[in-house]
Structure 1
C-alpha cells in the first residue's frame, strides 16, 4: 500500500512568485511563460524509437449517470495502456469534489490538479512528472484534493494550460470526468480525440444518454467524438436488449464490457487494476480490447461504426410521442 503522506505544495524557489502572483501577471507575459514551459518540456518528452516526436492521444471518459463504472474504466484503460513500455500515460481526475481514482489505485498522492494548475509556468519535465504519482502499472495519476472548498480553484483557462503541458509530456492523457458536466469537463472533451459515454442497459441510463447526446451535438466539435460504451452487460436478466438500446439512442454501440462484479469488487477493494489483479479475466480482456480500439487498434473491429443513426428516443416519452403523432 502506498504511503499515506500529507499533501503539500509543489516545492519551488521561495524567491519565485506564488501561484496567486502568477495569476496577477498580465496575460501576454503569462502566455509567453507558458509557451516557454511547453517548449522546454517538449524537448525532453516522449518520442518514438527512431527519435521522432510522438503526438499525444487524449481520451475523455464520461458517465450517463453516477455509478455506471466511469472511473473503473478510466483507471483500467489507463493501466492497460501504461503496461506497454512505449507508452507514458497520465490519468487526470476531474471530479474535484468526489473523485476516487486514487482509491482504485490505493494511493493518496502528494500533489493534485490544483497544485499543478497554480504552478504551471515554472514546471520542467522532471518536476511535472514528480508532481504526478506513478503507480506500479506505470500509470501516472493527477487527482482531486481532499478539501471540498478547493473545487473552484481550477478554471477552464488553468485546465487548458495543464493539458498543453501534459500533452508535451505524455503519450496518452485520460480524463475521468465529473458527474456534473462542468466547464472543466467541456474543456477536456473538446481537447479529446475520443469521448467515451459510459452507460448501462437500463431505462434511466439510456434516457440520460439521449439527453447527453442531444446536448453534446450542440457543442462544436463533439458530435463525431462520442463513443457509446455499454458497461456491465449481463448484469440483470431484465436488461434492455442491445438492439433496443441502439434504436433508442440512434447510435451504434462502440464497445460492450461484460459484467463481472466479483472480479471488479476484488481488485477495487485491493486497490489494484485489472491487468495486475485479474489479467486473464474476460472483463480484463474486454478493457484491453477497448484500449486497443481507442489507441492504435483497428477501429473497424468495434461492435459497430460510430456514425449516428436515427434515434427512437421518443419511445421513452410516450405522451410526447403521442402528441407529436397528432400534430
Structure 2
C-alpha cells in the first residue's frame, strides 16, 4: 500500500536491517547501488537520476543500469523517448529465479553503457511487484553493472525501502522552498531512526537560485547537514527534457551538467567522461 510522506511509526519500525545501516555488512560483490530520492515531488529528482546515470557511465566505459522504481507513474521512458516494450513487470512471473540472461531481456538500451529498467505501463501492475522482488533485481543487477541508479517516487513504501536497504549511497534531492526543506528534514530524521549511515547521504540542492532569498547557510541550518552539491536553476533543463535528450549529453559543459559530473566524480567516486566523451555518447546513440 502506498503511503504519503512521512511514514507512519508502525511502518518504520517494521523495516528490517538494511545493507548499509551501521553494524551491517554487504555480502554482494561488484556494482554499487545509488538510490535517488526526494521527500517531495517536483524537485527534479528523475532528471537528476537520468543525468547521473549518464555521468557514471563514463562515456560508455562503464555499465550502468537505470531503474525506474516509480512503479505507478514512472517518467523515465517519456524523458528518454523510449518505447516500454519490456519493463520491470516482466520479472513478476519469474520472481525468485531471475538470472543474468533474464534480467538482460528486461532492460532497454538507451546509449552505450546505459541500460534502463522501465516502470510498468499500467499502474495497477505495481501491486504485483513485491519488496522481495525489488531486492532480488537490485542484487542481481549489482553483479552485472558497475552502477545501478534507482529513481524512486516521493513515497515511503515497501519498494522504496527495498531500494534504500540495498543502496551504498543515497542521493537526497531538495529544492530551495520551505516545504521541500521541511520534508527533507523529516526524511533525514527518519534516516537517523532507521540507522542509514550519514556518510552515505549526498544532499543535493536542485534548482538553486540566489535571487529567491535563501542562502546555503539558511538551507543547511534547516537540514542540519551540509549540502553535498548545488545544481543551479536553468530553463535549458526543461528544454532538454522536452526534447528527450538529457542535458548532460546535449550540453555537457552547461553549469547543470558540470554540477552533476562533479557529483558523480568527486562525491560518488566515478571516473567521469570529458564533455567530448559525453557528446560522443549522443552521437553513438544516434547511430543505434
TM-score where L is the length of structure 1: 0.70
CA distance in 2, matches of 1:123, 1:255: 36
Rounded Cα–Cα distance in structure 1 between residues aligned with 2:170 and 2:259:
18
Structure 1 residue 66, shift from structure 2 partner: 0.5
> Are the structure 2 counterparts of residues 132 and 297 from structure 1 closer, same or farther at C-alpha, using a change threshold of 3 Å?
closer
Report the equivalent of 1:259.
233
1:55 is displaced (CA, Å) by: 1.5
Separation (CA, whole Å) in 2 of partners of 1:192 and 1:139: 19
Please name the residue that 1:181 is paired with. 156
Maintained 8 Å contact 1:201/1:239 = no
User: In the superposition, relative to structure 1, how do residues 90 and 64 fare at CA in structure 2: closer, same or farther (>3 Å)?
Assistant: same
Residue in 2 that maps onto 1:293: 266
Q: Given that residues 84 and 121 in structure 2 are in contact (C-alpha distance below 8 angstroms), is that contact kept between their aligned partners in structure 1?
A: no
> Within the alignment, does 1:94 sit opposite 2:32 as a pair?
no
Three-state SS of the structure 1 residue aligned to 2:153 is coil
1:161 deviation in Å? 1.0
Of 208, 211, 233, which residue of structure 2 is paired with 1:237? Answer: 211
* 5+ residue gaps, structure 1: 1-41, 43-53, 299-327
CA shift for structure 1 position 123 = 4.4
Distance between the aligned counterparts of 2:97 and 2:190, measured in 1? 37
**Structure 2 equivalent of residue 131 of structure 1:** 106
Count, aligned residues: 244
Partner of 1:308: none
CA contact (8 A) 1:83 1:137 kept: no
Residue 284 in structure 1 maps to residue 265 in structure 2: no
For 1:192-271, list aligned pairs within 5 A: 192-234=167-209, 237-261=211-235, 263-271=236-244
Seen in structure 2, the aligned counterparts of structure 1 residues 91 and 164 have a Cα distance that, compared at 3 Å, is: same
SS in 2 for 1:175: strand
Mapping of residues 140-151 of structure 1, within 5 Å? 140-151=115-126
Contact 1:198/1:229 (<8 A) preserved = yes
Q: Could you tell me whether the CA contact under 8 Å between 1:199 and 1:206 is conserved in 2?
A: yes
User: 2:105 & 2:213 partners in 1: Cα distance?
Assistant: 45
Gaps of 5+ in 2: 1-27, 272-288
> Aligned partners of 1:95 and 1:151: how far apart in 2?
9
Alpha-carbon distance in 2 for matches of 1:293, 1:153: 38
Higher relative contact order (CA 8 A, sep 6+): 2
Give the RMSD, CA atoms, in angstroms.
2.0
Partner Cα distance (1:121, 1:154) in 2: 12
- Greater C-alpha Rg: 1
Aligned mates of 2:129, 2:155 — CA distance in 1: 15
Q: Are the aligned partners of 1:91 and 1:173 in contact in 2 as well (CA < 8 Å)?
A: yes
